Chain A
Amino acid sequence: MRIATVCAATALVLGSALASAAEIRGDSILLCDEVRAPSPSLRPMEARRQLAPLLGQEEFQAAYGKLADLAAAALGTATGFERFLALLRNPQGRSFDVAPDGNTEKIFRAAPDTITIDCAATLAQHLVDLSAAALIAEMIRVKEELPAALRRKERLEKASQNAEDMLKNGLAMWPWELWLNGLRLSKKDSDPLFRTQWVFMRPTAGIEIDTYSQASADLQASVALEPVGFVRYRGEGYSHWWGASLVITASTSRGAGYGGLFRWDNYVLGLTRHQGQGSQSDSNFLLIGVDLYDLLNKKRTELKDWDGFAALLK
């Protein structure tokens, strides 16, 4: 801490010419660490008063033009600022920010037209006026861009919500599905997110029931595989969908089965065909996803409860 204090004192004596961020301060501007007064016509309050009718009517181009006139009059015979005035008349969205850089303040810091103000030297009035014009121009730019900034904010909030809803509420993706569907995204985040999700090599838990012989039904949940398919999202929030897939199963004693399935939200219903072995004939199996099976079981229990209740009434 002692070192810091000593350094601070030394620096205050030796290095007071470095710049800090310029800004409007009341009716003056802060530039090169000092509050400075621009020429009367470019003092923030007077400039605002002159520009107010144009800004009120959102005539921003005219406001820039008026500010350029004020700046040109204040700069008088000072030379070398023709480019600044030209840009002020036709800014095309250019930022007029004034920022510190070492021992200087810079206007258009990130552009080839950079105007550098040396803070170590005594500042001429025209440099204060130039900076004041730049700071006021920056206010015009920001005001002009507000409606577009609002649209951008609203679109981004929506896009962000959609992207997270898909990950959180949508049909959960296995890592390779997440990767594959990611390949379909456009390069621009501003393009809408897809509403159709691909299904690829997706393991699914299901139960297969022989449509001819319930006795041979295998009610143990087992794994089916969806080689390819899709889901299409419905409504907002990526929480509802329908879809279809091809399916391969190996869940019964009848070997591999092939078929298709239909998906409605988390409910899956499919049909598979298993080849008969030896003298056995081919048979069709109903494939029921675990969630649908649970739902059906729940409904069956409710129906039984209703039967019992109905019997009591008789």
Chain B
Amino acid sequence: MNVLFLLHGVGRHATGWASDPVATLQKAMQLYPTCFAANKTLADYVKPIEIKYDDIFDTVLDRWVQLANALPTAGGGFAWTSKVAELLQKAGDDRNTFARFGGDVLLYAGFALVARAARLRVNALIASTIYEENKAAIDAGRSPPKFGLVAHSLGTTIAQDALHQLATGRWVAEQESLAAEVTQAATAAGLSQQQKKDLAGSLASSRPAGTLAVNLHGLFLISDTSPVLKQSGYYSEMQTAGVYDCHAVWSVNHEFDPISHVGGAFTGSWRPDRRDVRVRHFHDRNIHAFAHYLSHPAVHCEVFRLLVPQFSGACYKTAQTLAAQPLWNGFGGELAGWVEQQKNQLKQKLRDAARLDRAPPKLREAIEAYFRSIGLL
């Protein structure tokens, strides 16, 4: 069975957080009664794997609170330490607000140790799943599964960074000395300079020693923030000898989502086969929500098409037809009854929240402005 990794964005996420996007995809399955049997769940077609990393941010905040609590009030030249302690206590005590205000963004983009821990958490789970699922398939004589990753908001940055590290890191260290050994062997074998040069060229076009390709079949970047926040590199653009490690990439953004705008999702030049999916539906005030994106046929059809063999070409075409309907290009769902004035007000607030420079602190401000604009703060 193919595997769908789900990676969350800013905010606090309890274990089991992925039940929300999974439920959205299951609800979306009902739009295609000829493609999915009525009594089946998403897990009957694809294996969802939830990835959670925000508890690492909690750990950092906890440690800061501990430090602050252990410090007595200082006077004189050390008075500043009390101010700092006060700030840290506040961040720890109000961590829900801190996270929702985009504090996670600052922790990830500002502290390399925190970013590394988050990336490693993500990669450990991905590498472990890839190994175990592939082994199970090979042992059973089945086709190896396909692996897709859907990342949302801050998760898009962490996905790009983490997968870049996974693909370029020397995780298979036994091969590190391979190049040196080959050179020695070439000399010992008495190869000519031209032969050595050819061999060196051949080695140069192969993967760096000690690395192993990820070969992710699909990367879905939903409300992409990686252009502004990335710390390592773009996995989606990574090539070895002209071959992209990531087989296919989708950048999915809402035209009014300020986080996509300030995160730089609509900028940059990318690999030619990257798919840009732009949605403009308003079925919930929180248009940035992971579930709101996944509910759109133009979005979930790409995930289904890649990972669910039963989702045939006909099903895909149905989704494309649905995506073009007015329902999926305007107000609907919970906001179906809104009058024109309400609609325009929301759009204006979202536009205002998007008028910020593209930089990590500005993205945090955009997140705050966004949640204020939709009345969730």
Contacts and interface: CB of A to CB of B under 8 A. Distances in A.
B273 to A, nearest CB: 7
Interface in A155-183: 155-157, 159-160, 163-164, 166-168, 172-175, 178-179, 181-183
B113 A95 contact: no
A92 B206 contact: yes
B144 A173 contact: no
Contacts of A179: 110-112
Interface string B212-255: 11010100000000000000100000000111111110000000
Interface string A221-241: 111010000000000000000
Given A1-B30, A100-B305, A164-B59, A222 B74 contact: yes
Contacts of A24: 142-143
Contact of A203 (B71, B131, B173, B175): B71
Given A188-B169, A189-B116, A222-B72, A18 B124 contact: no
A266 to B, nearest CB: 10
Interface in B147-197: 165-166, 168-175
B146 interface: yes
B315 A11 contact: yes
Q: How large is the interface on A (under 10, 10 to 19, 20 to 34, 35 or more residues)?
A: 35 or more
A205 B174 contact: no
Interface stretch (A66-74, A103-111, A272-280, A300-308): A103-111
Interface string B19-48: 000000000001111110000000000000
B74 A203 contact: yes
Interface stretch (B75-83, B256-264, B343-351, B357-365): B75-83
Contacts of B245: 110
Contacts of A17: 313
Quick one: which of A24, A97, A99, A175 has the most chain B CB within 10 A?
A175
B87 to A, nearest CB: 9
A163 B66 CA distance: 19
B172 A151 contact: yes
A307 B59 CA distance: 43
B56 A223 contact: no
A94 B172 contact: no
Interface string B58-102: 011001101100111010111001001100100000000000000
Given A19-B313, A93-B213, A167-B60, A151 B207 contact: no
B370 interface: no
B376 interface: no
A85 interface: no
Contact of B114 (A139, A174, A178): A178
Interface in A191-232: 191, 193, 203, 205, 220-223, 225
Nearest to B119: A189
Interface in A1-37: 1, 3-5, 7-12, 14-21, 23-24, 30, 32-33
A25 to B, nearest CB: 8
B269 interface: no
Contacts of B134: 142, 145-146, 149
Given A21-B307, A109-B247, A167 B165 contact: no
A191 B309 CA distance: 39
Quick one: which of A10, A11, A92 has the most chain B CB within 10 A?
A11
B171 A110 contact: no
Contacts of A111: 242-244
Given A16-B312, A97-B217, A167-B114, A223 B321 contact: no
Contacts of B356: none
Contacts of A175: 64, 84, 88, 111
A270 to B, nearest CB: 16
Contacts of A164: 56, 59, 117, 120-121
Interface in A121-164: 135, 138-139, 142-143, 145-146, 148-153, 155-157, 159-160, 163-164
B126 to A, nearest CB: 8
B316 interface: yes
B130 A149 contact: yes
A219 to B, nearest CB: 12
A119 interface: yes
Contacts of A92: 205-207, 241
A4 B313 CA distance: 15
A100 B237 CA distance: 20
Contacts of B60: 167, 178
A271 B171 CA distance: 45
Given A111-B242, A152-B127, A167-B56, A93 B317 contact: no
A167 B63 contact: yes
A57 interface: no
B138 interface: yes
Closest 8 CB pairs of A and B: A18-B313, A182-B112, A190-B169, A15-B317, A110-B244, A223-B74, A160-B120, A152-B171
22 contacts: A7-B318, A7-B322, A14-B317, A15-B317, A18-B313, A20-B311, A92-B241, A97-B217, A99-B217, A99-B247, A100-B306, A110-B244, A146-B138, A152-B171, A155-B173, A164-B59, A167-B113, A187-B232, A191-B170, A203-B78, A220-B72, A250-B78
Interface of A: 1, 3-5, 7-12, 14-21, 23-24, 30, 32-33, 48, 92-95, 97, 99-101, 103, 108-112, 119, 135, 138-139, 142-143, 145-146, 148-153, 155-157, 159-160, 163-164, 166-168, 172-175, 178-179, 181-183, 185, 187-191, 193, 203, 205, 220-223, 225, 250, 256, 290
Given A3-B327, A168-B63, A205-B71, 20 more contacts: A8-B34, A10-B321, A11-B321, A12-B318, A14-B317, A16-B312, A20-B308, A20-B312, A24-B142, A99-B146, A103-B313, A138-B144, A148-B175, A150-B131, A152-B171, A175-B64, A182-B112, A189-B165, A203-B84, A256-B77
